[in-house]
Amino acid sequence: MEGHLAAVERALTSYLPKDDSQNTLYQIMEYACAAGGKRLRPVLALEFCRICGGDVQKALPFACAVEMIHSYSLVHDDLPCMDNSPTRRGRPSAHAAYGETMALLAGDALLNRAFEVILNPENRQGLPEKSVLLAAFALADAAGAQGMVGGQYLDLQSECKSIDLYTLERLQMGKTAALIRASCEIGCHIAGADDEKLDAARTFGTQLGLCFQIVDDILDATATSEQIGKPAGSDGESGKATYVSLLGLEEATGLADKRSEMAIQALAPFGGEADGLRNLTRALQRRKK
């Protein structure tokens, strides 16, 4: 899947607006998107398109749109009124570098730019209209009140409160897992996958998303700031509910193992074509940053 990562890195900023006026808004949009990171979500979109027999090149604008949504969410999450994080991916967060107001606007612009990209007729040539609409809906649904925004709301509402595992999972199903699930769905839609594979992709994305968040919580409690690229221990200090604070380190690790295995099991309909995704899942479960 390294080819997918390289394709996303080449294409991502090309879909951002540009002019010759040194527009600060455009600069922040690029700053947020060019900060590196795993590019997990766009890579998943491209890989699911591939294993479902689709044209990966046609899925590339959609994959980049997913990353724009993810980047916007990080810009807003880092704001003082949210998580108040001064760093992201080892460098100043957008609001720390450009100011809170400009970062807020840049996040809004990235959210809208994602849909400009996938609905631009030039970026969907040769694709059935139904595939485009289903992909756009999956992205909008994952980003909104039933997905990321709703998850962030529950996250803020849960600060300094005692919650149970059901509530925490519901929170993270929205905040983290929804966009990962949508990334897998989008690849399937662009490829025209059948319902069996689409359902399998959704299950995989949900389980991988929850595993990813559990590992994030473990790293927040055990890794250094240099390793994770943001202040370590910040979730605990702000009173956020995490898998580690709720379950303890050992039980949280066991739950991550379980979610990882469930994700891998969901890939059965794809056979050997999904071996790359199986390896990716194991690598994400074992990651140290």
What's the CA gap between 193 and 199, in Å, rounded?
10
User: Residue 153: which residues within 8 A CB-CB, separation 6 or more?
Assistant: 145
Distance CA(5)–CA(72), nearest Å, equals 19
* H or E segment to which residue 146 belongs: none
Amino acid 231: pLDDT: 75
pTM of the shown model: 0.95
Six-digit token string for 117: 């990209």
pLDDT tens digit string along 167-221?
999 999 999 999 999 999 999 999 999 999 999 999 999 999 999 999 999 999 9
Nearest-angstrom CA–CA distance, 264 and 254: 16
Q: Which CATH superfamily is domain 2-286 in?
A: Farnesyl Diphosphate Synthase (1.10.600.10)
Residue 236 has pLDDT above 70, yes or no: no
Give the residue with greater pLDDT, 226 vs 140.
140
Q: How many CB atoms lie within 10 A of CB 263?
A: 27
Half-sphere exposure of 209 (CA within 13 A, CB side): 28
- Distance (Å, whole) CA 104 – CA 45: 27
How high is the pLDDT of residue 209?
98
Give residue 239's pLDDT. Answer: 82
Secondary element (H or E) of residue 96: helix 94-98
pLDDT averaged over the chain?
A: 94
The residue whose two tokens read 């009140």 is: 145
Q: What is the pLDDT of residue 240?
A: 86
d(CA 32, CA 24): 12
Burial group, residue 76, by CB count within 10 angstroms (0-12, 13-18, 19+): buried
Average pLDDT over residues 112-132: 97
In angstroms, rounded to a whole number, what is the distance separating the alpha carbons of residues 113 and 111? Answer: 6
Summarize pLDDT for 51-97 with one digit per residue, the tens. Answer: 999 999 999 999 999 999 999 999 999 999 999 999 998 899 999 99
Euclidean distance between CA atoms 135 and 132, whole angstroms: 5
Which pLDDT belongs to residue 37?
84
Asked whether the predicted pLDDT for residue 42 surpasses 90, the reply is yes
> Does 230 score more than 80 pLDDT?
no
> What is the arithmetic mean of pLDDT over 233-258?
89
Helix (H, G, I), strand (E, B), or coil: what is residue 216? helix
Domain ranges of the chain: 2-286
pLDDT at 226: 74
Query: In which band, very low, low, confident or very high, does the pLDDT at 18 lie, cut at 50, 70 and 90?
Result: confident
Among 211, 196, 83, 59, smallest CA distance to 139 is for 59
